Amino acid sequence: MRLVLVGAPGSGKGTQAQRMQARHGVPQVSTGDLLREAVAAGTELGRAAKTVMDAGHLVDDRTMLGIIRERLARPDAKPGFILDGFPRTIVQADGLEALLAEIGQPIDAVVLFDIDPGVLERRLAGRRTCKRCGRVFHVESNPPRPGETCTDGKPHDLVQRPDDNEETVRLRLAVYRERTQPLIDYYAKKNLLRRIDADGSLEDVDARLERAIS
């Protein structure tokens, strides 16, 4: 299975991709997570990316295509992948198409997470990530279960992402509209686009996603 998930920040792509990877035996490839790992490791890429990410802008296409090429070459991506947060521009989408043609692994489908902008702001305000295992939660709609522990046996250590503050969220949504929304037409013309209503419980969205790709 080779899927691309497209949607605004907070539309739930990451949460659904995390849930799907176990079901389908293919990894979630989140370029946001890859960049945050580089930031945490303090690499040159991480230092350059942190300023851009904290401001809510996009990292340049060339860098992103390099990251994705390297990630898809890892053995766990051989059976397929779920791309979460990539591509985010038409240049990235063209680059991805060329890369996948080169390795003979074309995309099966692109799922658009359709959601009302008001819901997005609420979701992003309550979003928390476990500092140690990277799982994404929401303080109201998806908190850790009582007594639930992280991979190391301790409770999850929940933090808010630095770019989830109100001002940066507004900018990220504007960047999405301007740079990423054109991908909807791009993939519709290629007959790859499936649209799902991304508002609802995790289970409801899960079910819609599975129906959309079956």
Q: Which residues are catalytic?
A: 13, 88, 127, 161, 172
Using rule CB under 6 A, residue 59 touches ligand AMP: yes
To the nearest whole angstrom, how small is the minimum distance from the Cβ of residue 143 to ligand AMP?
20
- If one asks whether residue 115 binds ligand AMP (CB under 6 A), the answer comes out as no
String marking each residue 9-28 x if it binds ligand AMP according to CB under 6 A: x-------------------
Beta bridge partners of 128: 137
Q: How far is the CB of 214 from ligand AMP (least distance, A)?
A: 26
**What are the strands of the beta sheet with 127-130, ordered from one edge?**
136-138, 127-130, 158-159
Span interacting with ligand AMP, options 54-62, 107-115, 127-135, 147-155, rule CB under 6 A: 54-62
Compute and round to an integer the Cα radius of gyration of the chain: 17
CA–CA separation, 3 vs 193, rounded Å? 10
Kindly state the smallest distance separating residue 58's Cβ from ligand AMP, in Å. 4
35 scored as a contact of ligand AMP (CB under 6 A): yes
**Rounded distance between C-alpha atoms, residue 197 and residue 118, angstroms:** 14
- Pseudo-torsion of CA 172, 175, 176, 181, nearest 10°? 170
DSSP string covering 43-69, please?
A: -HHHHHHHHHHHHT-PPPHHHHHHHHH
Stretch that binds ligand AMP, among 18-26, 58-66, 115-123, 188-196 (CB under 6 A): 58-66
| E strand spans, 126-184 | 127-130, 136-138, 158-159
Q: Work out whether 58 is an interface residue with ligand AMP (CB under 6 A).
A: yes
Interaction of residue 7 with ligand AMP, rule CB under 6 A:
no
* 64 is a site residue for ligand AMP (CB under 6 A): yes
The region of 85-93, 96-104, 127-135, 138-146 touching ligand AMP under the rule CB under 6 A is 85-93
CA 108 to chain centre: 17
205 is a contact residue toward ligand AMP (CB under 6 A): no
CA quadruple 119, 214, 134, 66: dihedral sign = negative
- Draw the binding track, 162-181, toward ligand AMP (x: CB under 6 A; -: no contact): -x--------x---------
